[in-house]
Amino acid sequence: MLLTIEAKLSPGADLGYLLHKHPDRAYCAELPLGKLHVFYPVVEPDRAQAAIWLEIDPIGLVRRKQDEGPSVTQYVNDRPYAASSLLSVAISRCLGSALKGRSPERPELAKTPLELKASLTVVQSRGGPELFERLFSPLGYKVKAECLPLDPRFPDWGDSSYYQLELTGQQRLSDLLGHLYVLLPVLDRYKHYFIGPDEVEKLLMSAQGWLEQHPEQAFIARRYLLERPDLTRMALERLLPVSDESDDGSHADAVEEALEAPISLNEQRIRAVLEQLELNQVRSLVDLGCGEGKVLKRLLSETQISRLIGVDVSIKELTKAEKRLRPDWLSERQKQRLELLQGSVLYRDKRYADVDVVLLIEVIEHLEPFQIERLTRTLFGEQKPPLVILTTPNREYNQLFGMPTHALRHRDHRFEWNRQEFHRWASQAAKQYGYLFESKPIGELNPELGPPTQMGIFSRQEAEA
Amino acid sequence: MTIIEIPEFSLVMLVGISGSGKSSFARQHFLPTEVVSSDVCRALVADDENDQSISDDAFGLLREIASRRLKNRRLTVLDATHVQPGARPPVLALAREFDTLTVAIVFNLPLEVCQARNAEREDRQFGSHVLPNQQRMLRQTIKRLRREGFRQVYVLDSPEAVAEVELKRVPLWCDKRQDLGPFDIIGDVHGCCDELEALLGKLGYTRVEHLLYKPPTGRRALFLGDLVDRGPRNLDALFLARNMVAKGYALCIPGNHEEKLMRVLQGKKVTLKHGIEKTVAELEAIPETDRAQVIAEAKAFIDSLVSHLVLDQGKLVVAHAGMKQNYQGRSSGRVRSYALYGDTTGEIDSFGLPVRLDWAAEYRGSATVVYGHVPVPEAEWVNNTIDIDQGCVFGGQLTALRYPERELVSVPAAQVYYQPIKPMLSQADSRSLQQQLDDVLDWSEVAGKQLIATRLQRLITIQAEQSAAALEVLSRFAVDPKWLVYLPPTMSPCETSEHPDYLEYPSEAFAYFKRQGLSQVVCQQKHMGSRAIMVVCREPQIACSRFGLAEPAAGVIYTRTGRPFFKRSSDQEAMLDATREALDQAGIFKQLNSDWVVLDLEIMPWSAKAGDLVERQYAGVGTAAQASLAALTQVLGQASSRIPALSGQLQHQQQRLELVSQYRQAYGRYCWPVAKLSDYKLAPFHLLASEGQVHSDKPHAWHLEILSRLAESNPQLFIATAHQYVDLHDEASVTAAIQWWLELTAEGGEGMVIKPADFIVKGPRGWVQPALKCRGREYLRMIYGPDYTQPEHLIRLKKRGLSTKRSLAMREFALGIEGLERFVRREPLRQLHACVAGVLALESEPVDPRL
């Protein structure tokens, strides 16, 4: 990956004093994952250009040990070419003094903003080209970003997510390096090392003096900290101004609001389910497709329910649920109340054969249409719980969310039913397997399009004598 | 001398006071592991054989050990005093729980003998009242044992009697494991003796005299009971069976109707309903002078019948109404009742008949169970069980199952002899019972650690975490499990080449097969597309009748991980239609005498399926590399005019830029837009299976020939896989193959796959890899990066281990073939599912993804 910095100064060779690299020599340093080269393509009386080139060892990156950082599994990868955290680290290692703005020979020059032009030949931006503007304009740069086409032989493929980026502005060299140091990983969204709480310190230290005022500070913090909510919260709490006298918690709420989208539909769904559980005096339940356990977490505080089982087919989701719902400090007795099991709605399962109710909250739409029959047969024909409570989106309502006609609400949704389709399936299933079906709307009811979410309540009819 | 006969599988209770010699007797006559002693259990839980204070724990342990042994059908000897009345009910409960016979052996020795023995032992110095008390209880015990329910009781009255005992182990009556057959198993006759005689004739039996038929050499008949009642010749049927059994021409087990008849014969009061009135009428028609004799013979015969039989090394179980796995080879009232009446809920249905549980649906045993009792319109296999009562007396047919051939032979009823109370339900569903049951799979049977027995690799272990990963993929992404008859195994590359410019080169593959003792291999061009498995049905109905799907369909096309190949089902339909036509035109369905085939193929272009990956990864990296290196060479060019030391670097980076363009060429040739069906190219290379056959028994030449006919029928869509046969001992042949590979790969072709001439080969060193791939030098840029051929990279890349990959390839291959064989044998879906999930599970094993 290549970064060139052009500066207007006289003599041009003085750029060497700022970078601590001699303008007439090729500098090269060995780093764990490659070599950093610094050389000067242009040195003239009134300007100079420095090239900072990080030569990555592509094989070393793939073959490194597990504890050395997140692995790159493919030899075919863009790490040797696209600017990333690898370059940030190389800058701090090999150009540390320049980054800190030290120059014993030219101390005044180091403090003076110069007319600088930084070019990055390949930068990734998954947020589109406007992201460059959002990040760099507030810092006083003029931004020029040019997208690279994927492959000239296949124009259909369109543009790549790579850009050639040019930043110009009156900046101290150390500030330019500092901005790049923080923002390259924000653009690239990958870090070649594992991060922990000290990453927050690193961010706050490196971005001191400009991140506090940056309009995108929340975004920068989140991306820099790899979207980890715990770390992001730590960083934002220290960035947002706190009034000393009254810490009434509103500050924390503000942080949370900055982080989370509105959840009202979710909340209404849970309330509707809770109401049904209360009405039916449910003592034990299984939440099929519990995911990371959002619904279960709410149900845990319902003391009349003595046995809760969460089932999901994804081990990853279950691990999250385990952390969320059964933290180590929970007492044995509390832990016993809740079981988490890997399982699938497509398989008969004796482990939860005797529960009062089966919940299927926003699950059925994640099945392929051909799997619905198997689910219906297995759930109503084999498991036969006394009560089934199911919720699923109402496709008709999507237009009120401003969604295009055929769009679905979630990437993994395989279909979404309108009210009629849902009713047809539910009544047929109820009839075939001896259940009574009742449907209830959840959320704001639109007179034409119905509710955003539809709920089905299926009660088993006792077999005729 | 006292001979004690002990059923091979039984619960033996030793009874006697301390010092009466129970433990010595046990040591002498039983294996140490067969004996569970209260003293030993005391020692195990508290380090002291005589600590009475921990008796509860000691007996808890004793019962636990005994339970586990009995569950595994092992003879178990309980060594404790058993003189207290409260000590014996738990023993009987244990026997009942595990349906085993009980034997009590009592050591009734003079008190002085026991006292003297205890006096010699330092650890048996208890109060003087203890032994006389025990002795008193012992005398009570002896009187009560039979009444309490112990089936066999032996009392030994002196040390001499104990010493003289000869212990004999006898098999249970139901245990006929030594009898290997073959058998002709005949369902409920119900007095249809005409049909029975016709059936015996059809089976090749010859009439010797009235009511006696002789089997063809080596075979025997096996009657499943319910010979009598409802039909026109009830006693004839009974005596025909009796005569054949007497001659050793047949085996027979009783049905509930024999049981009921027995009660009539014994003079008990029985309601004359459900057909017994006919048998009774026949009895009454016998002249009074002969009747007593007939009754006596009938009684003797019925009395000799054992309720169920375990035959052929345990592989076959017969019982009138079926037999669940944990009752097989056991003996108790409830086992007998199960054999005669089946698994009933105790409820009565609207026809006044007992409500029966569908025991076969739940059956998971490895023994084949053949039964009757419930008339069914079709005799169908369900979970390795079959009900062959086709209701002859109700106007159906009398059916025999030839075992081990598993062929059904039937004779239609001449007329309706008796009106059924409940009409025989004919199938509304065109699918078999097994296929309907397979609509439901049970989590506990597919999850967790799995041991899969395969023909090729014996037992393959799937770890619990791996099957968890596989089940997630299957549940969330895969096509209907009924379609998933096969997943292809992974394939190992050849060993790393010693050639300085190449990572892979054909010589190593040839050397491998030569080392395995092979002389001929076939090299097949490796197509660079996406692997697919295609199930093609000749008629949509076949999807239901053969694959068990609820809805008719043309077939399915899925990826190597079981996902639908096409996003749009219309694409799949079009390709299936075209393939079916080509198969028809090429006469392949006809030649194989099959209504379906399973094909293993490559679908091109690569970009059609891997489009996202190509654009995101391959093209993206190409773009980034191109732009980055172009800019770099430019600044290096500028700088090197001032700093000569950089000119070496400049040259090096210019070379890399050139390699990047070669890399972009390499992936580009596998990409083309697809707008219509004929933009795809299909290259099938294995015809995996068709009705009744897995074609892994045929050489690759057969597969290539038959599949090349598809390309002849439809050259727009199909391409025949180019191939060369190589004689490994002929230098010229080997050189020609290498030359061919060089030509194939010069322009970036993927390379070739080298396979033994036969599909499955076992050499002197074990199973041989079914295929090795040898990939082209240019193609590998897509795997190892644009500039992997730079010497400094290549030398490091050459260090790679293949053993995990090879072991994985072999195990997955064995599982794949096993799955197909199970499907062809029409085994229950869960058996097939296990193999497919197994392949997927093994794929989650960490292995270098570039191999």
Q: In the block, which residue shows the tokens 């595990």? A: B98
pLDDT at B421: 76
Whole-model pTM: value is 0.85
Instruction: Report the residue from A75, A160, A347 with minimal CB separation from B443.
Output: A347
Contacts of B645 in chain A (CB under 8 A): 25-26
Q: Using CA coordinates, name the residue in chain B closest to A312.
A: B472
Q: How far is CA B83 from CA A306, A460, B133, B154, in A?
A: 46, 54, 10, 15
Cis peptide bond upstream of A11, omega within 30 = yes
Residue A246 pLDDT > 60 = no
In the predicted model, what is the mean pLDDT of residues B203-208? 96
Contacts of A342 in chain B (CB under 8 A): 447, 468, 471-472
- Number of helices (H) and strands (E) in chain B: give both, helices first: 30, 38
Q: At what angle do helices A198-206 and A173-188 cross, to 10 degrees?
A: 140
Contact B164, B154 (CB under 8 A): no
Average pLDDT, rounded, for chain B: 92
Q: Do B442 and A350 touch (CB under 8 A)?
A: yes
B298-311: pLDDT as tens digits: 999 999 999 999 99
Minimal Cα–Cα distance from A312 to chain B, Å?
Answer: 9
Minimal Cα–Cα distance from B325 to chain A, Å?
Answer: 19
pLDDT at B217: 92
In the predicted model, what is the mean pLDDT of residues B378-396? 94
- Rounded to two decimals, the ipTM of the complex is 0.81
Least confident range from A242-256, A388-402, B194-208, B486-500: namely A242-256
Total beta-carbon pairs less than 8 A apart between chain A and chain B: 172
Contacts of A370 in chain B (CB under 8 A): 479-480
Of all residues in chain B, the percent with pLDDT exceeding 70 is 98
Q: How many Å separate Cα B42 from the centre of its chain? A: 42
Minimal Cα–Cα distance from A434 to chain B, Å?
Answer: 18
pLDDT at A67: 66
In the predicted model, what is the mean pLDDT of residues B746-763? 92
DSSP B182: -
pLDDT at A256: 45
The sign of the torsion formed by the CA atoms of A393, A394, A400, A403 equals positive
B672-726: pLDDT as tens digits: 888 888 899 999 999 999 999 999 999 999 999 999 999 999 999 999 999 999 9
Nearest Cα neighbor of B762 from B814, B824, B724, B812 is: B814
Least confident range from A248-252, A311-315, B415-419, B441-445: namely A248-252
Residue B484 pLDDT > 70 = yes
Instruction: Report which listed range, A4-8, B372-376, B798-802, is most confident.
Output: A4-8
Which helix (H) or strand (E) covers residue B845, if one does?
A: none
Residue A11 pLDDT > 80 = yes
Contacts of A366 in chain B (CB under 8 A): 476
Interface test with A, best of B431, B441, B621, B657 (most A CBs within 10 A): B621
pLDDT at B345: 67
pLDDT at B41: 95
A266-308: pLDDT as tens digits: 888 888 999 999 999 999 999 999 998 988 988 888 888 999 9
pLDDT at A367: 92
pLDDT at A262: 45
* pLDDT interval class at A243 (50, 70, 90): very low
Residue B353 pLDDT > 90 = no
Q: Using CA coordinates, name the residue in chain B closest to A48.
A: B639
Q: Do B441 and A347 touch (CB under 8 A)?
A: yes
Domain boundaries, chain A: 2-194, 264-460
* pLDDT interval class at A434 (50, 70, 90): very high
Q: Do A80 and B628 touch (CB under 8 A)?
A: yes
Interface test with A, best of B364, B476, B679 (most A CBs within 10 A): B476
Instruction: Report which listed range, A177-181, A327-331, B114-118, is most confident.
Output: A177-181
- Per CATH, the homologous superfamily of domain A2-194 is Hen1, N-terminal domain (3.30.1610.20)
Distance of alpha carbon B626 from alpha carbon B613, whole angstroms: 18
Distance of alpha carbon B391 from alpha carbon B188, whole angstroms: 7
Interface test with B, best of A21, A36, A39 (most B CBs within 10 A): A39
A39-63: pLDDT as tens digits: 999 999 999 999 999 998 888 888 7
Q: Do A160 and B623 touch (CB under 8 A)?
A: yes
* pLDDT interval class at A244 (50, 70, 90): very low
Contacts of A80 in chain B (CB under 8 A): 625, 628
Q: Do B468 and A82 touch (CB under 8 A)?
A: no
Query: What share of residues in chain A are helix, strand, coil (percent, to 5)?
Result: 40, 25, 35
Residue B436 pLDDT > 60 = yes
How is residue B41 written in tokens?
């259990």
Q: Do B476 and A314 touch (CB under 8 A)?
A: yes
pLDDT at B215: 97
Of all residues in chain B, the percent with pLDDT exceeding 90 is 76
A344-360: pLDDT as tens digits: 999 999 999 999 999 99
Fold of A264-460: Rossmann fold (3.40.50)
* pLDDT interval class at A328 (50, 70, 90): confident
pLDDT at A129: 87
* pLDDT interval class at A214 (50, 70, 90): very high
Distance of alpha carbon B508 from alpha carbon B361, whole angstroms: 52
Q: Other C-beta atoms within 10 Å of A230: how many?
A: 9
In the predicted model, what is the mean pLDDT of residues A303-315? 91
Nearest Cα neighbor of B444 from B834, B827, B815 is: B834
Minimal Cα–Cα distance from A105 to chain B, Å?
Answer: 24
Contacts of B622 in chain A (CB under 8 A): 151
Residue A341 pLDDT > 90 = yes
Of all residues in chain A, the percent with pLDDT exceeding 70 is 92
* pLDDT interval class at A70 (50, 70, 90): low
Residue A257 pLDDT > 60 = no
Contacts of B631 in chain A (CB under 8 A): 2, 4, 119, 121
Which helix (H) or strand (E) covers residue A184, if one does?
A: helix A173-188
Q: Which residues pair with A6 in a beta bridge?
A: A49, A117
Q: At what angle do helices A173-188 and A217-224 cross, to 10 degrees?
A: 70
pLDDT at A332: 78
* pLDDT interval class at B425 (50, 70, 90): low
In the predicted model, what is the mean pLDDT of residues B332-339? 93
Minimal Cα–Cα distance from A150 to chain B, Å?
Answer: 6
